[in-house]
Structure 1
Amino acid sequence: METIGYEERESARLDATFAALADPTRRAILARLATGEATVTELAAPFRMSQPAISKHLRVLERAGLVTQARDAQRRPRRLAAAPLRTAVAWLENYRRYWEESYQRLDTLLDELTAAEAGDNSAGRS
């Protein structure tokens, strides 16, 4: 059996994180869990869907490592596990820098064009 390399595992984790975040219901669940732990019943309350449907969303979030389940007597509250989000943010950071540099180049070009246009207008008035 071939083992998966570190980069492939990281890529698979990132894929799972983005797949989990692709659904608005799952993003809403994560937003709710960011305020504190909650049971399936509590998580299902604001949605027009059944508890089993919410449980399916939770399983996707759990597989992605974004949610953990605790045990408190008969309660089984879910908690946010934000580490995979940190990895996703770090990956996205590279693209933020790319766009920032692109915008800086565009700003420089616009400044040059504005300066050239101002120079042409003042030369035409003399």
Structure 2
Amino acid sequence: MSYSVLEYMYRDAGNWKTHGVALLLGNVGALEATIRSCLDPGALFVPEQVLLPGLHRRHWTQYGDGPNDLDHAFHEFVGLRDVGKEDAELHPLIGSTMEVAALFLEARGRWDVRCSRYLREIYSGWVG
């Protein structure tokens, strides 16, 4: 069995960044080109729409604040690569490369911020 790592990040409007990775079952193959063809300008997407966890909570914890006016629902696609030794502790498996590619294709041109858990966190009064 082979695995891939999808790298992405959350960058708020103040340019503060939080990086994330997701473990996928399958080879990189042409998946990166497929994903890039589905992104909004700036390589943006809504992670919850494609099985990926949003990075907001980690971002808020990392920078010691909660939701604020710099936040938004979009994340940035960084790239896709084969699993390396540095990824030995990655878990859980998010899904297969084919499943994720199909979700990106389904969302192309229809990224919906309402899918973001971020909005629910904001409107439910996040407590850090």
Shorter chain as normaliser: what TM range? under 0.3
Structure with greater contact order relative to length (CA < 8 Å, sep ≥ 6):
2
Q: Which has the larger radius of gyration?
A: 1
Q: TM-score, normalised by structure 2?
A: 0.24
TM-score, scaled to structure 1:
0.25
Higher helix share: 1
